[in-house]
Structure 1
Amino acid sequence: MRAGAQWFAVSHQPGREDIAEANLLRQGFKPFVARQLFTVRHARRLTVRRGSFFPGYMFVRLDLTRDRWRSVNGTMGVRSIVMIGERPAPCPAGLVEQLIDMTNADGILDFSSKLRVGDAVRVVSGPFANLIGRLDRLDGPGRARVLLSIMNGEVAATIAAKDLAAA
């Protein structure tokens, strides 16, 4: 990476992050979309979908002194760069890099390596999606025992660790 390059937040059109990402890549920019798996419940059916972790936003690495950053605003799928006055607002140093490090080979954020026994967790996908619980223990390869808060009590459930995030 170039020394003067920083990450900037970019607002994209609803549901068009893939188009925005492809068009930014085509122009030579380095975009990053933080993605997660989430469960959608509709008509008694559960569907796991891939979506943006920050709905409506993505990140682009730019060197404001070298890149033609104003062209990002004219990119198909992009609304605009997040600005402070007349200049793009940089993301805090290390934030996007940390998100990239937590992304697995499928391009999905994986928070399971950061979880510790006793932590409050939220189930991000599966039949228990959006329930809050407490991590009881981490079992073998990628499994976790979670005490879910259901009906004024705690119910133990074994869930894939990749389906958990800190609450």
Structure 2
Amino acid sequence: MHDDLANEALDTTPEVADAPESGEAPENAAPAEEAEGAEAPVVLDENSESAVEDPVVALKRHLRSAPGEWYVIHSYSGHENRVKTQLLTRTETQDMEDYIFQVEVPMEDATEVKNGQKKIVRRVRIPGYVYVRMDLTEASWRVVRDTPGVTGFVGNSTDPVPLSFDEIYSLLAPSVNLPEKKKSSSSKAKEKAIPAFEVGESVTVMDGPFETMPATIADIDNTNQKLRVLVSIFGRETPLELGFEQVAKI
């Protein structure tokens, strides 16, 4: 009788121990593996697709689909980014997010020569201007106009005209092949003698976002080979600093 009881215990123990291992484990493991395998490609595809998107294409798509229109406001030169920060703060504190959507101060990398050393500096592309994407209402106009550092809208101050797609794109678009172009311009400059410029002389801009535009020389820095020129933008003369190699005599 003792042998029968022992045999029964031996017969029932494997069934209780093996059932969870052979029955439950595969059923729980399989869905987890399938779920992981199904999600991973979706995440990878989305990341890789956004990573390779052309920034120029992305900018054009954004400009065409974003709400509101782009307007230009005057600011004190050197205060452009401060105006941007204060305007964004005023937009939030005065609950104008549904009317004022975006504020931009286009920047650019430029080469400056100091003490014979060339340095790449980050600077405002067009000093004295800030660009705002907004729905123009009396309230939103007042928020922008009363921002410290803002001197007014470009054009009709009370009923400003928005920028066209081409105008805002040219202002916000990143420079394409700029390093290569500068290198080419510098090589040509070395091959020929440095021209003698005169204050008041008319020249043509040969590099950067204002390429092909006429300009008038306002100041000459022969030591650093820099010119301060005036370019007419939105009906107003705007000062720019350019290298000798970035302009051509007319």
Q: TM-score range by the shorter chain?
A: 0.5 to 0.7
> In structure 2, what is the equivalent of residue 142 of structure 1?
none
CA displacement, residues 133-152 of structure 1 (integer Å, 9 cap, x when unaligned): 6xxxxxxxxxxxxx534333
> In structure 1, what is the equivalent of residue 78 of structure 2?
15
Q: 1:98 to 1:85 in 2, by over 3 A?
A: closer
Shift of 1:165: 4.4
Q: What TM-score results when the alignment is normalised by the length of structure 2?
A: 0.41
- Name whichever structure is richer in strand by fraction: 1
Shift of 1:63: 0.9
Q: Give me the whole-angstrom Cα distance separating, in 2, the residues matched to 1:149 and 1:40.
A: 16
Contact 2:109 2:123 (C-alpha < 8 Å) held by counterparts: yes
Where 1:84 maps in the other structure, the secondary structure is: coil
Which residue identity lines up with residue 105 of structure 2 in the other structure? Answer: V
Computing the radius of gyration from Cα coordinates, the structure with the larger value is 2
- Name whichever structure is richer in helix by fraction: 2
Q: 1:70 to 1:18 in 2, by over 3 A?
A: same
How many corresponding residue pairs? 123
Question: Which of the pair has the greater relative contact order for Cα pairs under 8 Å at 6+ separation?
Answer: 1
Contact 1:12 1:77 (C-alpha < 8 Å) held by counterparts: yes
Q: What TM-score results when the alignment is normalised by the length of structure 1?
A: 0.59
> In structure 2, what is the equivalent of residue 53 of structure 1?
125
Shift of 1:8: 0.6
Q: Give me the whole-angstrom Cα distance separating, in 2, the residues matched to 1:23 and 1:98.
A: 25
Q: Give me the whole-angstrom Cα distance separating, in 2, the residues matched to 1:94 and 1:67.
A: 28
RMSD of aligned residue pairs (Cα, Å)? 3.1
Where does 1:1-150 land on structure 2 (aligned, <5 Å)? 1-2=66-67, 5-28=68-91, 29=100, 30-65=102-137, 68-84=140-156, 86-97=158-169, 99-100=171-172, 102=173, 109-112=174-177, 122-123=181-182, 132=185, 148-150=188-190
Which residue identity lines up with residue 78 of structure 1 in the other structure? Answer: V
Q: Give me the whole-angstrom Cα distance separating, in 2, the residues matched to 1:88 and 1:69.
A: 10
CA displacement, residues 9-45 of structure 1 (integer Å, 9 cap, x when unaligned): 1111111111111111112331111110112222223
Contact 1:62 1:69 (C-alpha < 8 Å) held by counterparts: no
Which residue identity lines up with residue 104 of structure 2 in the other structure? Answer: F
Gaps of 5+ in 2: 1-65, 92-99, 194-206, 212-250
Q: Percent same amino acid among aligned pairs?
A: 21
